[in-house]
Amino acid sequence: MQNITKYYDNFRALNNLNLKVEKGEILGLLGPNGAGKTTAMRILTCFLPATSGTASVAGYDVFEDSLEVRRRLGYLPETPPLYHEMTVRSYLNFIGEIRELPSRMREERIGYVAERIGLTESLGRVIGTLSKGYRQRVGLAQSLLHNPEVLILDEPTVGLDPNQIIEIRGLIKDLARDHTIILSTHILPEVSMTCGRVVIISEGEIVAVDSVANLEKSAQAAPAWKIVLKPAINQSWRETIDNFSGARISEVKEHSDSYEFRLELPRNDDFDELFGSLSQKGAVFREISPVRATLEDVFLRLTSVEERKEAA
């Protein structure tokens, strides 16, 4: 549905971004603060123009057909855009009006959305008196009200309590059936749980685009184990490992009667060999467990800028 090439100058918040989101997909935008997630979303929602490049939503160009794009969008900005002096009901009514929701459908949609988001009892309350979590819900309700084709959510679960977060994630998954959703977050489990595909942005550039599973797989450059070892007679275990070609030790922790460390080997088969020679030296293993990379590792690896520069 979309084919987005964006390039944003000034202090180059986004650099030559290419992104395509399919209909019915949930795409997670992931990145550290200041990576350009919000900028990307603002370009898509026609709030900011791109310096160069084009972006389109549902087949309409965000620049040429901005009005058509905005008709098809639901957007929850970082700060929920609320009028604190209005009641939730009159606010949603106002949203319905400016989002061109026909007046006969307004009541029904407000009721439906409020129920899905858990706002039914708060409809009569003045927004200014609501807690942060409830304000976030009103912001979310606002973005869903007109049943938009494309939903853009900037950190949708910020400020919600754990139960609510689970409910909202469920809601987002439900919505994905007939909506296209782009959400940004820096909460990693959120992405693993809701998104089909993840885009990791760092310093305005895409550093990875893939499904969560694939990313986790690719993060594991080499097989790794967590090992707890009772020190043998001497320090020879360390030498054995150091002399083994391709072995790498990190995160060494010394306990009173044991050593804990992370071992990386070039191949899985290498482990048997190393294990054998370590046992021969009299080392006693307390714990051996394979380490699987999580999205967190991928994220850290891809977004720590210094490392990338070194590698380059």
Partner 1 sequence: MKIFAIMKKELQSFFFSPIAYIVFASFLSIVGYLFWVILMTSKIATLEPMLYNAAFILMLASPVLTMRLVSEEKKSKTIELLLTSPISPFEIIAGKFLACFVLYLVLMILTLQYPLILAHYSQDFDLGPIYSGYLGLVLLGAAYISLGLFASTLTENQIIAAMVSFGGLVLFWIFGWARHAFENDFGELLGNLSLFDRYAEFLRGIVDSGNVIFFVVFTTVWLFLAMRVLESDRWR
Of the pair 86, 291, the CB lying nearest partner 1 is at 86
- Residues 19 and 192: their CA atoms lie apart, in Å, by 19
- Contact pick of 5, 16, 54, 90 for partner 1 (by CB under 8 A): 90
List, as one string, the DSSP characters of 57-113.
ETTEETTTTHHHHHHTEEEE-SS----TTSBHHHHHHHHHHHTT--HHHHHHHHHHH
Tell me how far, at minimum, the Cβ of 99 lies from partner 1, in Å: 6
Contact code string over 41-80 relative to partner 1, x by CB under 8 A: -x--xxxxx-----------------x--xx-x-x-xxx-
Residues 247-276 touching partner 1, rule: CB under 8 A, are: none
Least CB distance to partner 1 at residue 50 (A):
11
Position 81 contacts partner 1 (CB under 8 A): yes
In the complex with partner 1, the residue whose CB is nearer, 90 or 258, is 90
**Residue 234 lies near partner 1 (rule: CB under 8 A):** no
Hey, which bits of the chain come out as E strands? 4-8, 14-19, 26-30, 56-57, 60-61, 73-76, 150-154, 180-185, 197-202, 205-211, 224-230, 248-254, 259-264, 284-291
Would strands 150-154 and 180-185 be described as parallel, antiparallel, or unpaired? parallel
CA pair distance 55, 20, nearest whole angstrom: 10
User: Token pair of 247, please?
Assistant: 């072995």
The contact pattern for partner 1, residues 28-47, with x = CB under 8 A and - = no contact, is: --------------x--xxx
Whole-number minimum distance, CB 6 to partner 1, in Å? 15
Which residue ranges make up the site for partner 1 (CB under 8 A)? Answer: 42, 45-49, 67, 70-71, 73, 75, 77-79, 81-86, 90, 94-95, 97-100, 142
